[in-house]
Structures are given as structure tokens and as C-alpha cells.
Chain A
Amino acid sequence: MLLNFDSLGSWRWVLTIIVVMVAAFLLLPIVFIAALSFGSSQWLIFPPPGWTTKWYHDLFADPSWLKAAWTSLRIAVAVSFLSVLIGLVASFGLVRGSFPGRAFLRGLFITPMILPVVVLAVAIYAFFLRIGLNGTVAGFVIAHLVVALPFSILALTTALEEFDRSIEDAAVLCGASPFEAKLRITLPSISHGLFAAAIFSFLTSWDEVVLAIFMASPTLQTLPVKIWSTLRQDLTPVIAAASTLLICLTIILMLIAAAVKKGLKK
């Protein structure tokens, strides 16, 4: 009754209305930002009195925005690569090994995801003050790696556990070296896990703001830090333009993820 949409009677409409309203609530800010980024009002009046691309010109005319985006991109790519690499190696150890303390280690590797990020940010900031890593690309990569690695380990241990190991053994029996078997049989079979690990790690770093606020220096800041410090001064429509571009990037990544998922099903 309650779990059959067609026999819900009048409740069907109540539920549908709630879903439509919540969907509108979730979409509202995103659509609104995109519309305002083309609005001509400096004070973000809505509906805008006219339409303009001025804010996008302003955005691209200011080299500090491009520089921040480039810094973010470099850091996120490095984090993504290292997170998948370290995560893959560790996942092999965790899934295939039988040493004592395996469950404990697994829990330990996930902990940075549960911990409030502000605690980690303050702790790492203090630690980096001592060893001089604040305001360096290496510092950003290390700090983001700490929060990205749990996603890799979760995605890759799950993928490795689902993979039937006897296929790898069969390759070894057929004459492949253990390393070759892993490279040519196991890795392609867990490619969805690798992909998920890479994309989550990338996004974790690309969108990360709390760690970055503490570590940023006047000469080295990521895109979220640039948005944050601009936001603290005023609500300029330039941020709407930057946000709209970020939303477009999100949609592109979602479409890629959906396409990859579809490709895997075939």
C-alpha cells in the first residue's frame, strides 16, 4: 500500500508536491546564481534590470582568479594521483593481507573523514608552522591528501573485495608474473573503483576550503580561498560568475561519471 506508488490514492499527490518543492529548494540557489551572473545589477537585484557578461570579463581580467584556479588545479591533480596510488597499494595490503590489526588499520585510515575538518586544519596549520610548509604547494598537497585518502581507500577496498581473485590466479597459472597479472587483469577489472577514487579525491581537494584558508599565504592561494576572501569583503557578482563556472564543471563531471557508469554496465 504505502510502498506502491499507484495505490497511494490522494497521498500520491501530497508526496509528489513535497518532492517537487524540495527539488525546487535544491535547485533554487544554483539556478539563481547562474541567472545573477548575467544580471547587470552590481547589487544583485533580482530580477536583474538588464543582462551583461561584464562579470565574466572582470573575472578573466583579474589575473589573481586565474592564478588561484591554476594553483587549485595543480594541487587537485597531484592529490588525485597520489591518493589513488597510495590508496591502491594500501588497499591491496588490507584486502589481501591477513596480518593482525587489519581492521584497526582500516578504521584508522578512514578516521580523517569523520574528524571535524576544522580540528585537522588547526592541527596541521600549527604543525606546518614548525616545519615551514604553510603557503607551499607541497603543504597543500599533503593536507588535502590526508582528507582525500579515506575516499580512495573506501572505493578501492570495496572494488578489490568484489573482484574474484581466482581470475588473477588463473593468469598466473597461464604463465603471467604476479605483477603482470595484477597490471593486466586486476587493475582493468577494478577500473570503476579507480575512477571513483580519482574523481572523489580530485573534488575533495578542488573544493576544499577550511584547510586551505589556514594554510594559504598572500602569494599562494587556491580558488576556494580566493572566493572566501572576496566573499568576506562584499557580495560582488564576480563571485556569481566564478560560481557559475564551477557549477558547469560539476555538471560536466557528473555527465562523465554517468557515462562511465553506463559504459561499465554494457
Chain B
Amino acid sequence: MALLTLSRSSVGLPGRNLLLTLPALLLVVFFFLLPVAILLSRSVTEPTLGLHNYVELLGSPTYLKIFYNTFLVSSLVTIISLLIGFPVAWALAIMPRGLSSVVFAILLLSMWTNLLARTYAWMVLLQRTGVINKTLMGLGIIDQPLQLVNNLVGVTIGMTYIMVPFIVIPLHGVIRKIDPAILQAAALCGASRWQALRMVLIPLARPGIFSGALMVFVMSLGYFVTPALLGGTANMMLAELIAQFVQSLLNWGMGGAAALVLLSVTMALYILQVRLFGAKG
């Protein structure tokens, strides 16, 4: 042991391990912290020093509508993903192995498929003459094609599709760790299936439900690609607004202010998540 300690300490200076993190640190400082800090600072310096950008952003009905859209879509996506994701995660945890591995492969395939390819598929599926409208009309459920793209309905469908795996995979891990004996005990004590679900299984799965929901909500708030393609220009969300300020309007002050709003909400929710469930959530 003495020899070992000797060899470890003789390898280098005490700061050697700190030095090893230097390349990563330089990258993060110069190409992450610095650019973000510059962008945010422009929100209070352009066009003139002060908080005008924030006053305009939080005071105008146009922008408030965009905040509302973002919040609405993110909430809907989170709730629908949970409603779909919970039974699937539950079933995956208890189904025969062969079957559950097939479903798992499908989940991973959908998650790993290029985002634009998936969004393109929904653009085609949901268009006026698309398969969904044709099927519904063929079945006689509707007689006019529904408007499913270029509005928030399309965005919600497309984003739910993307987010479901992010609920199912972690939640499945949480449910699998629950001891089946606890539910047997509930049954022995006379609980019906509904009671056992409501009073035992869901409360035990709650950490997984909350952390998954929070993660999906945070991801949805800042989503850019799917809302931009499925939502059309009239139904903007926050990420598109930031892009528009910078790309089309060249208004860096407002862009920085909108970025700060998005960033603060994201960070606050992330810190809440870490506080509640630990860093692994």
C-alpha cells in the first residue's frame, strides 16, 4: 500500500487532474458561457442602456400571445405524453420479455430517427389531403377535412410524438423497481384494482411521473424545429420568436431579452427538478 501511495503521488503535481479538465473548460467558457453572456447583456444595452426591451416584451399583447402559446402547447404535450406514457411504461415493466423488447426497439427507433424526417412525416400525414383526414372522412366521422397543420393542433401532435419516449423510458425504470409484494398486500387488504392503481401504484411511481413531466415540459418550452414546421407563422412559439428577432429583424436587444426569459424559466425548472429528485432525474 505504501508503495502504491508513493507511485500515485509521484505521478505529478496535485493540480494535474484539474489541468486535465482544461480543454473542456476552455471550450465551455469561450464557446458557451461567453457567447451566451454577450447575447444576454445585449438585451439591456441595445439600442440604449436600460430595460426597454423587457418592458416591450412583457407589455405587448403580440408577445404575450406567444408566451401563452408556448405555455399552452408545452402543458398539453406534457399531459398527453403522460397519459399515453404511463400505461406503456407500466406494461413494459411487467410484460413478457420478448414482447417488451420489441416495443422498446420501436421506442428507440422513433427516438433515434432524424427529427426532421419525423416532422416531415407528420406534415404529410396531417395535411388537408393527408391520410388522417382521408381516413376520418372515409369512416364518416367528419365530412370536411380538419385543419391539422399550420396551427397549434399540429404542433401538439408532432411534439407529443417526440416526447412520449422521454416519459416512457425513465418511468419504466421507476415502475420496475417497485416491489410487486406491496401491490399484493394492497389486494390482500381488500383494495380493488382501481384503488390499488390510484392509492398505491401511482403514488409509488410519482417521482418518475413528476421528473419525466418536468423534463418534457422544459424541453417543449424551448423547442424550435417542430413548432416552426407544423405551426406556421401565425402560431409562433418562444423559440421561433427568438430566432425571428435575430434572423429577420436583426433586433439583438429583443432577441437577447426573449432568450433570457426562456433561459430563466428553463433553469428555474431544472433547479427545481434537481432539488426534488436529485441530479439523476
Chain A contacts to B: CB under 8 angstroms = 1-5, 8-9, 11, 15-16, 18-19, 22-23, 25-30, 32-33, 36, 43-46, 86-87, 89-90, 92-94, 96-99, 105, 107-109, 111-112, 114-127, 142-143, 145-146, 149, 153, 169, 172-173, 178, 203, 207, 209-210, 214, 224, 227-228, 231, 235, 239-240, 242-243, 246-247, 250-251, 253-254
Contact = CB atoms under 8 A, between A and B. Distances in A.
A143 to B, nearest CB: 7
B14 to A, nearest CB: 8
A197 B224 CA distance: 25
B116 to A, nearest CB: 5
A116 B225 contact: no
Given A90-B20, A93-B17, A123-B39, A15 B87 contact: yes
B21 A93 contact: yes
Contacts of A30: 109-110, 113, 117-118, 121
Contacts of B17: 92-94, 96-99
29 contacts: A1-B196, A2-B196, A4-B184, A19-B92, A22-B164, A26-B110, A28-B121, A29-B125, A32-B125, A44-B124, A86-B24, A90-B23, A93-B18, A93-B19, A94-B17, A97-B17, A97-B18, A99-B14, A109-B28, A116-B223, A124-B31, A145-B31, A169-B8, A173-B7, A178-B11, A203-B112, A224-B114, A231-B123, A247-B114
A253 B36 CA distance: 34
Interface stretch (B47-55, B137-145, B240-248): B240-248
B31 A97 contact: no
Interface string B102-140: 110111111011111110111111010111001000000
Contacts of B116: 209, 224, 227-228, 231, 243
Classify the interface of chain A: helix, strand, loop or mixed: helix
B34 interface: yes
B32 A120 contact: yes
A159 to B, nearest CB: 16
A167 B29 CA distance: 35
B213 interface: no
Nearest to A203: B112
A45 B124 contact: no
B129 A43 contact: yes
Nearest to B188: A1
A50 B201 CA distance: 51
A172 to B, nearest CB: 6
Contacts of B4: 169, 172-173
B221 interface: yes
B262 interface: yes
Interface in B1-58: 3-4, 7-8, 11, 14-21, 23-25, 27-28, 31-32, 34-36, 38-39, 42
B231 interface: no
B154 interface: no
Contacts of A210: 224-225
A28 B43 CA distance: 43
B108 to A, nearest CB: 6
B87 A18 contact: yes
B131 A46 contact: yes
Contact of B103 (A1, A23, A97): A23
B136 to A, nearest CB: 14
A115 to B, nearest CB: 7
Given A3-B178, A209-B116, A115 B94 contact: no
A251 B108 CA distance: 10
B73 interface: no
B171 interface: no
B196 A122 contact: no
A32 B129 contact: no
Contacts of A235: 120, 123-124, 127
B180 A19 contact: no
Given A27-B110, A97-B17, A146 B28 contact: yes
B7 A172 contact: yes
B275 to A, nearest CB: 13
- Among B20, B129, B134, B201, find the residue whose CB has the most chain A CB atoms closer than 10 A: B20
